Amino acid sequence: LYLDRKLSWNIHLDMTIKKTEKYMNALRMIAYHKWGADPATCLLFYRSTIRAVIDFGSIFYNRANKEKLRALEKIQNGCIRLSLGYLKSTPRDVMLAEASDPPLDVRRRMLSDRYVLKTMANTPQVSRKIAQLCIMFLTYAYWRRKVTPLIIESFMDISYFQMDIYRSNKLPIFEADYEDIIFTADVCYLPDYKQTPADMVNRVFKDDILSIAPNYHLIFTDGSKSANNVGAAILDLALNESRQFRLPQFMSNYTAELIAIIEALEYIENLPYNKYAILTDCRSVLEVLANVNYQSHTSSLVLLLKKRCRKFYEANKQIKFIWVRGHAGIHENEITDNLAKTAHTEGTMIFHKAPAYDLNSKSREEQTKYWQQSYEISTKGTFYKRFTPLVGRKPWFYNLSLPRKDIKTINRIRSNHAICGAYLARIGQKESNLCNVCKEKEDPEHMIMTCKKYDKQ
C-alpha cells in the first residue's frame, strides 16, 4: 500500500491503474475476437490478475477521490467487455449481470466484511482496535461530514453476531487434541435408490441396513436451511423419540447438519445400547469424518464431533455413520426432514458457536440485495432486464461447450447491442438508425423479431 500524509490514496490508485494496464494488454491478446480464449477462461484471468490487483487495499480506499474510483470501474468494464465480446455501447449493468461480477463498491464491502469477520474470530486484539475506532467515529465531530470507513460499517453490522461465532487467538485445529485430529469414523454409503421403484424403496432400504448394520440402534439426523430459518432434528423411531433444534439464521446448512449429528451423539449417551447407526443425507460431513483433517480452516464443530465420537469408541461402543440420499422416499428420512424444516417454530433454541465463515454467506446475500436494488433502479439495459431480472447468477454459458464466436454473438443479441443500423449510427458510420425497409429503429430485437427484410431467411 502507498500511503500519503492526507490519506488521499492517489499514489496507490495511480500505481494500481498502471499495473492493471499490463494485465489488460495480456487480456486483449487472450480475448482476441478471431481466435480468442473461451469467455469463462478470460473471466478467470481477469479475476485472478486484474481484479486481484484492484482488490488489494480496497477496504481502505473507499474514501478516495471519486474520479480515481471511477477509473477503476472503467477498467472493470473494459475487462468484462473484452472477455465477453460486448460492444462499447453495451450498458455497464448488463455486462456485470451477464458476467456475474459485482460492482466494485459492492465487492469492497464484501471484502471488508470478510476481513472484519476474520479479525473478530482469530485476532481479538485487532477487533478491539476496530471497536475503539467505531467509538471514535460515533463521538468525534470530525467524522460528522466524512464518508464512513468501510471497516466501521462492517463492524457495526457484524458485531451483533460476535457472541454466536467461534472466537479464539488460536485456530481450532491448534486447540484440539492430536488424537481427535487424526481420528477417522466408520462411514458407509447406501445406494441412491434412483433406479428402485418407489413402492420398493423402503423395503430395499431396510434390507441394506440389516446387511451393513445388523442389530444397530438407528438414529436419523437432518439439518435444514430456508430463506430466513435454520433448524436441525434427530429421530429415534424405535423409541418414538424426536428432538428439534432452532438455530441462528446465519448458519449454513452444513453447520446445521453437523449440529444435528452432535446432538444425536449427546442423545445416545444416556441410552443403554452398545451399537448405534447415525443416518444422514449430508455426504460432506461424512467425508470429513472418514478422513484426517489438518487444514487450518477446519471447523471447531468438526473437531468437537470427532472428539465425541472418539469417546464412544474408547467406551467400547460402536458407532457407524451411514449416508442415505435425501428425498429418496425413505419413510424415516422424510419424517426427520419435516422435523428439521419446522424446527424454527417448534424447536428448542440451542447454542453452538458457529464458524465465522458462515457469516460470509450472509454478507454476500446482503450485498447481492444491494446490487439488485441498484440494478432495478437503473434505466439502462431495459431490454436485457426483461428476461434477466436477477443478478448474481452464474453466466448462461457456464459449463457449455460453445465456440467463443457463438458466445459473443449470443451475448450481443441478449444485450440488444450488436453491429446493426442503430449501433452504426451511434458511432457515426451511418446517418440514420432506422431500418431501410421498415423505417423503424434497427436494433437486434427488430432484426430478429419484426424486420421484413429477413422474412424469407
Q: Are residues 154 and 22 in the same domain?
A: yes
The pLDDT assigned to 18 comes to: 94
The pLDDT assigned to 435 comes to: 84
Q: Are residues 152 and 218 in the same domain?
A: no
Question: Which residue range is the domain that position 429 belongs to?
Answer: 419-457
In-domain check, residue 400: no
The pLDDT assigned to 347 comes to: 86
Q: Are residues 208 and 142 in the same domain?
A: no
Q: Are residues 140 and 180 in the same domain?
A: no
In the predicted model, residues of the chain with pLDDT beneath 70 are 293, 456-457
In-domain check, residue 217: yes
In-domain check, residue 388: no
Q: Which amino acid is at 455?
A: D
Which residue matches cell numbers 422416499? 329
In-domain check, residue 408: no
SS3 content of the chain, % helix, strand, coil (to 5): 55, 10, 35
Q: Are residues 144 and 188 in the same domain?
A: no
DSSP state of 338: H
- C-alpha dihedral (22, 23, 24, 26), degrees to nearest 10: 100
In-domain check, residue 395: no
The pLDDT assigned to 110 comes to: 95
Q: Are residues 278 and 182 in the same domain?
A: yes
In-domain check, residue 398: no
Buried b (16+ CB within 10 A) or exposed e, 387-408: ebeebbeebebeeeeeebeebb
Q: Which amino acid is at 16?
A: T
The pLDDT assigned to 456 comes to: 61
Q: How many residues does the chain have?
A: 457
Q: Are residues 218 and 249 in the same domain?
A: yes
In-domain check, residue 436: yes
CB 90 within 8 A of CB 35: no
Question: Which residues fall within 8 angstroms of residue 375, CB to CB, at 6 or more apart?
Answer: 93, 97, 385, 391
Q: How far is CA 387 from the centre of its chain?
A: 23
* Cα first-last separation, the chain: 58
Q: Are residues 185 and 317 in the same domain?
A: yes
